Amino acid sequence: MDVIHSVAALRLRLQSEPNNVFVPTMGNLHAAHIQLINIAKPRAACTVVSIFVNRLQFGPQEDFERYPRTLEADCAKLRDAGVDVVFAPDEREIYPEPQTYVLEPSDLQHILDGAVRPGHFRGVATVVLKLFNMVSPHSAIFGKKDYQQCLVLTNMVRQLALPIEIILAEIVRAEDGLALSSRNAYLSPAERREAPRLFQLLCRTREKIAAGVRDYQPIELDVMAALAHHGWKPDYVAVRRQSDLQVPQAGDLKLVVLGAARLGRARLIDNVEVNI
Ligand code: PAF
């Protein structure tokens, strides 16, 4: 496994690997990332993983500074998982000058997570486009826990005609249902015991929709109230269409229930799809 820090060295290494599959990450790797790598590996001769904590997608009050950076442990896991190339650039390599050219996902960046985290999806789309230009993969894999991010990137690839297949991987959960996330590390032991409630409430909402409930707003408000009652600070709970994350219209059959809420120092997001 080669660990590469510069774009020039990456391009040189990948010259001989025209067939590569790409897993972009921010490091602090856990089982959900390894699942992405396991999906990636059979698809190409060369599996490339990037590790880069992207300042552009963090708000000024967010956790950019304290986001866990664990390169050595990450590389050990990636070596065990059979990754070929790790691209771990520093900030000057990705942003050698102020990034004045950015990508605006104007359809999605002001709703749900975009409303709570202004500029977040601009930062994600911009860095992923840059990473795609550096790696030139034929496919790239993202986890569905970041549902809105998946849609932003799928739309980006389609609208900009990038020759890259986007593959979406199912959410990996702990035994008690909590979606795996690097931010779970911020939870105290008591908060960790409380944390599966978000998934449980999203599942209960899915059951109500499957049982025929179509008035979504009261159930969204009920879930937010239940979270608040147990010490969470909910940002949103929303039933939306899978295709564009807009409010469902009569006859829409493919829905997703999304939730985001703060528990102690952690901001957790999760979602469950509902196919009526
Ligand atoms: O999902 C993530 O870890 C990040 O948003 C990504 C896609 C690596 C871009 O920084």
Residue 125 lies in a domain: yes
Residue type present at position 200: Q
Among 140, 169, 198, residue at a domain's last position:
169
Catalytic residue among 5, 30, 33, 110: 33
The per-residue pLDDT for 11 is: 97
Residue 176 lies in a domain: no
The per-residue pLDDT for 87 is: 98
Calculate how far, in angstroms, residue 45's C-alpha sits from the geometric centre of ligand 1: 23
Q: Does the Cβ of 28 fall within 6 Å of ligand 1?
A: no
Q: Does the Cβ of 124 fall within 6 Å of ligand 1?
A: yes
The per-residue pLDDT for 16 is: 87
Q: Phi-psi bin for 247: left (phi > 0), alpha (psi -120 to 50), beta?
A: beta
The verdict on 162 and 257 lying in the same domain is no
Instruction: Tell me the C-alpha to C-alpha distance, in Å, between residue 73 and each of 68, 79, 116, 188, 205.
Output: 11, 10, 32, 22, 38
The verdict on 204 and 150 lying in the same domain is no
The verdict on 242 and 145 lying in the same domain is no
- Enclosing domain of residue 238: 182-275
Among 118, 134, 169, residue at a domain's last position:
169
The per-residue pLDDT for 18 is: 82
User: pLDDT truncated to tens, each residue of the chain (276 aa)?
Assistant: 999 999 999 999 999 898 999 999 999 999 999 999 999 999 999 999 999 999 999 999 999 999 999 999 999 999 999 999 999 999 999 999 999 999 999 889 999 999 999 999 999 999 999 999 999 999 999 999 999 999 999 999 999 999 999 999 999 999 999 999 999 999 999 999 999 999 999 999 999 999 999 999 999 999 999 999 999 999 999 999 999 999 999 999 999 999 999 999 999 999 999 999
Residue 90 lies in a domain: yes
The verdict on 165 and 198 lying in the same domain is no
Residue type present at position 218: P
Strand order in the sheet with 266-275: 233-241, 254-263, 266-275
The verdict on 190 and 114 lying in the same domain is no
The verdict on 125 and 227 lying in the same domain is no
The verdict on 186 and 146 lying in the same domain is no
**Is 33 marked active-site?**
yes
Domain count for the chain: 2
Calculate how far, in angstroms, residue 124's C-alpha sits from the geometric centre of ligand 1: 6
CATH number at residue 152: 3.40.50.620
CATH number at residue 256: 3.30.1300.10
Residue 240 lies in a domain: yes
